[in-house]
Amino acid sequence: MPVLPAWRRPVAGWVLLALVLTVLLPFLVVVTRGWRLEVPEAPPVPLDPGQLPVRVWVPGADAVQVLPLEVYLTGVVAAEMPASFHPEALKAQAVAARTYTVRHMQVFGGPGCPEHPDADVCGDPQSGQAWRPLEARRREWGLFNGWRLTRKIQQAVADTAGLILVYQGAPIDAVYHSTSGGRTEAAAAVWGNEVPYLRPVDSPWETSSPHWRTTWEIPLAEFARRLEVDPKAVRDLPGDQCFARIEPSPGGRVGRAVLGEKSYTGPQLRQRLDLPSTWWTCRRQGDQVVFEVRGWGHGVGMSQYGADGMARQGRTFQEILQHYYPGTSLRPIFSE
């Protein structure tokens, strides 16, 4: 039998040891444990709600973009509310937008975006929340204000990270609008269903809004055409009336109006006549129909200008949200 040279003997020893460790030792472990390898479970990794992937349908690009939740929210807040608003108002907007998003996310059983089956939310304000990349808004704000306002938006989102509004344990339908005109509206008056936390509340803090009070004129012939009635039916009304009868909504707006044999709801008139809200009075003035309008938007939920006015009077974002969504409470997205 040949004898290994002296220089190879240590190497052979190390090879033999490696063989024992890699082959025999695992075999012995299997035998002693009844032929069952036990792999210890990894500790659970906490899920950061800010990293929840949100699928956003971008109308202009006709594409779905996936963004972390908190990144997406900076674009919503920047698009939905003026960055010049008080920080507490921006925080209230961030919570409302986060709640709206979570409620619509398909991973939580939400309906998603009605415009695209693969998206959680729509980037079109007509069917969801407005959204614009924060970087694009920064460029629009210019060199002087861009970084300052960007940081302000990011801080509002960060200061409310993970917080949503709930009612009876479930995320609410956190709808909002620009300006109520002095009092918000009930959900039932707009969408037909009662929602306990979407009921009329006073909102007197909006006088700085450019939409607080506005005047709109529509030619009488155009008014009749849009309502699909004979112009004579309008001219024959007594005095300067523009409708035969107007019934108020729960929030004091126009709930229903009658002209000739036709009846219209307040939201129907707002759409047909392209009015900024359902809170108005009207009169005939020559060949014009003149509308004196209060507010801008559907009027349900949080008034954005009202939130800013409340914040400038020292109210916190929690107080703002409790006022406009009565009976709701704040909690993290993931809670025990």
Report pLDDT digits (tens) over 9-42: 454 454 444 444 454 444 443 434 443 334 334 3
* Predicted confidence (pLDDT) per residue in 235-291, tens digit: 999 999 999 999 999 999 999 999 999 999 999 999 999 999 999 999 999 999 999
**Given pLDDT bands bounded at 50, 70 and 90, which one contains residue 61?**
confident
Supply the pTM of this predicted model.
0.84
Provide, rounded to the nearest whole percent, the portion of the chain with pLDDT above 90. 79
pLDDT of residue 336: 58
**Given pLDDT bands bounded at 50, 70 and 90, which one contains residue 225?**
very high
pLDDT of residue 46: 40
Tokens 């472990």 belong to residue: 29
* Predicted confidence (pLDDT) per residue in 121-169, tens digit: 999 888 889 999 999 999 999 988 999 999 999 999 999 999 999 999 9
Parallel, antiparallel or unpaired: strands 302-303 and 121-122: unpaired
Nearest to 325 by CA among 204, 192, 198: 198
pLDDT of residue 19: 45
Considering the chain, what is the average pLDDT of its residues?
88
The residues spanned by each domain of the chain are 1-38, 52-206+299-332, 213-294
**Given pLDDT bands bounded at 50, 70 and 90, which one contains residue 91?**
very high
- Mutual angle of helices 304-312 and 317-324, in 10-degree steps: 140
Q: Give the three-state DSSP class for 263.
A: strand
- Average of per-residue pLDDT across 53-78: 93
- Average of per-residue pLDDT across 87-115: 96
Cβ-in-10-Å burial (0-12, 13-18, 19+) of 5 comes to: exposed
pLDDT of residue 47: 57
pLDDT of residue 304: 98
Given a contact cutoff of 8 angstroms between Cβ atoms, the answer to whether 115 and 61 are in contact is no
E strands present in the chain: 53-58, 63-68, 121-122, 163-167, 170-171, 176-177, 213-219, 245-248, 254-259, 262-265, 280-285, 288-294, 302-303, 329-332
